[in-house]
Amino acid sequence: MQATSAKAVLGSPAHLPDAQKRREARFAPVALPNLAWTPEVARETAHLYEKVKAIIPPIEWPFHAPYVKAINELKKQRNAVILAHNYQTPEIYNCVADVVGDSLQLARIAEQSEADVIVQGGVHFMAETSKILSPDKTVLIPDSQAGCSLAASITGEDVRALKRKYPGVPVVAYVNTSADVKAEVDICCTSSNAVKIVESLGVDTVIMVPDRFLAANVARQTKVKIIAWHGACEVHERFTPEELLGYREAEPGIELIAHPECPPEVVDVCDFSGSTAAMIDYVKTRRPKKVLLVTECSMADNVAAETPGVDFIRPCNLCPHMKRITLPKILDSLVYMREEVVIDPALAARARRSVERMIAVK
Ligand code: 13P
Ligand code: SF4
């Protein structure tokens, strides 16, 4: 009798450690939201439709709006934030994301956010980066199959082999890598800080993994010798100079701006190259009459919504991994608290060193 009551007392919420109580509260079941298109949904989402009306036809909005409303309500209930990469679709980017940005901006926010839960609007390596930087938060990825051809091109064992082959040469990993790879390298970089990171090491040779094109583009901007891995982004490697020169001829006055994951010969025929955030800044500040963003094509939709008057010419190279993230899957994530990103704490601590070293470079 005594044993039974002692067990009941020990299991009661007041006796659970704080972290466990918080986790139980985070994962508490919630009712399935009603996803009907009603006048109330229309009214409550009207201000969000204003942001996307140039790119989402009125006939499509009734499909998105009930999800938008349900996700925004559930975010508050779960004390969750949605961190969305610039390649997410317009309804995610404009209507449910709390923060949007390039890989570096999202990593910084993941570290600073006070939310209990992060839902990553992006691919798996981004969710891992958030978890590495916020080990106490619950990090959810709406589709764990959202990969990346760059991250898939290299493993931690490959990095160890490189270090054996080139002893003493520091290894810089693009953030588009798994936690396993980040744990093995000296420092991370993104497309917006790669040159600065390479030069911050104060050496004459570095190994850069996994993107051979980013490495080649960086090599042209520094005296540091770069030994590159052979990975490539399946979206950016498809652009060719011939295709872009064709647009130049067909669209007089067009400005071409490229992501540095493009081959160097593609960057060569462009007017500017930079990370997704730098490309967005370029369009917002220079307001070219006509522009082609040589990158994943949802970004043009997102920037177009914010820059009326700029004419976007759009070859459409979609990232199939980024497109796995949808409003219904984000809602499922928040309702069922799935799919949780889990990283072995010892591995995460080693990976964190490389990411934090990067963030510390000003
Ligand atoms: P950035 O947003 O850091 O430029 O990266 C682009 C990219 O390909 C992410 O998958
Ligand atoms: Fe990876 Fe390229 Fe997709 Fe970015 S766009 S997630 S680099 S495959």
**The ligand 1 atom nearest the CA atom of 104:** 3
Provide the residue ranges of all domains of the chain, joining segments of one domain with +: 31-146+324-336, 150-232, 236-318
Ligand number nearest CA of 321 is 2
In angstroms, the CA 205 to CA 75 distance is: 46
Q: Which residues contact 352 (CB under 8 A, 6 or more apart)?
A: 132, 133, 135
Mutate to test the pocket of ligand 1, among 86, 191, 233, 280 (most ligand atoms within 8 A of CB): 191
CB 288 within 8 A of CB 255: yes
CATH 3.40.50.2000 for the 31-146+324-336 domain, yes or no: no
CATH no. of 236-318: 3.40.50.10800
- Residue 3 is predicted with a pLDDT of 36
Report whether residue 354 contacts ligand 1, using a CB cutoff of 6 Å: no
Return mean pLDDT, the chain.
Answer: 93
The CA distance from 337 to 214, in Å, is: 35
pLDDT reading at 238 higher than 90? yes
User: Which CATH code, of 3.40.50.10800, 3.30.2130.30, 3.30.70.1380, 3.40.50.2000, is assigned to 150-232?
Assistant: 3.40.50.10800
Contacts 24+ apart (CB under 8 A), 23-30: 23/138, 26/78, 26/79, 26/116, 26/117, 26/138, 26/337, 27/138, 27/337, 30/74, 30/77, 30/78, 30/334, 30/335
Which pLDDT value is given to residue 14? 59
Give yes or no for residue 102 CB within 6 A of ligand 1.
Answer: yes
Mean pLDDT, rounded, for 332-339: 96
Distance 356 CA to ligand 1 centre (A): 18
Question: Do residues 134 and 110 make contact, with C-beta atoms less than 8 angstroms apart?
Answer: yes
* 3 CA to centre of ligand 2 in angstroms: 57
Tell me, using a 6 A CB cutoff, whether residue 275 lines ligand 1.
yes
Going by pLDDT thresholds of 50, 70 and 90, the confidence category of residue 121 is very high
Which pLDDT value is given to residue 9? 41
- Give the per-residue pLDDT at 294: 97
Residue 349: its pLDDT value, please? 97
Joined together, the tokens standing for residue 105 give 């901006």
Which two tokens mark 264? 């160097």
Cα end-to-end distance, the chain, whole Å:
64
Query: Is residue 123 within 6 Å of ligand 2 at its C-beta?
Result: yes
Do domains 150-232 and 236-318 share one topology? The answer is yes
Q: What is the pLDDT of residues 206-217, one digit of tens each?
A: 999 999 999 999
Asked whether 301 lines ligand 2 (CB < 6 A), one says: no
Q: Which of 175, 217, 233 to mutate to test the pocket of ligand 2 (most atoms within 8 A of CB)?
A: 233
Please indicate whether residue 45, judged by its CB atom, sits closer than 6 Å to ligand 1: no
CA dist., res. 172 & res. 317, Å (int): 27
Residue 210: asked if its preceding bond is cis (omega within 30°), the reply is: yes
E strands, 180-316, are 187-189, 205-209, 225-228, 255-258, 272-273, 290-294, 311-312
Model confidence at 362, in pLDDT bands (50, 70, 90)? confident
